[in-house]
Amino acid sequence: MTGILEGKYAVTMDMWPLQSKEFTRVYPFYDNLREGRFTTTRCRECGKRSFPPRVICPECLSENMEWVDLPTRGRVLVVTEEEVGVPLGFETPLIHALIDLGGEYKLFVHIINCKIGELKEGV
């Protein structure tokens, strides 16, 4: 079945970059990230800090938002290591960890430059 498709099947990834000024209003998140800052938006009206960053506050719907830094160190709560079925564009093993950033947010993120068994829970 795949024979007739040889060389003809298009691989459709994201059709345009989602992280650029032309395509998203939260592009400062990516600009900050490139500068080594992990940031999100905080509402100047109600004080709500949201993640992911927003152009409108999901709490009070104000558009008066500012960029604030998030902690870059946290405690590792859970580690998972995907050994089979890793999606295209990611390497096997695909390692994730649930990181507690000091109580307000727990982010489940992709861990890079790490081998199976290397990252320990509780660190």
Distance CA 26, CA 114 (A): 29
Residue 11 or 36: the one with the smaller Cβ distance to another protein is: 11
Number of helices (H) and strands (E), helices first, in the chain?
Answer: 1, 6
* Contact flags string 99-118 toward another protein, x per CB under 8 A: ------xxxxxx--------
Nearest approach, Cβ of 96 to another protein (angstroms)?
Answer: 5
Lookup: tokens for 36: 């080594």
Kindly state whether residue 51 participates in binding another protein, applying the rule CB under 8 A: yes
- The beta-strand segments (E) located in 12-93 are 39-43, 49-50, 65-69, 75-82
Kindly state whether residue 122 participates in binding another protein, applying the rule CB under 8 A: no
Query: Residues in the chain, how many?
Result: 123
Q: Which residues bind another protein (CB under 8 A)?
A: 1-2, 5, 9, 18-19, 24, 51-52, 77-78, 80-90, 94, 96, 98, 105-110
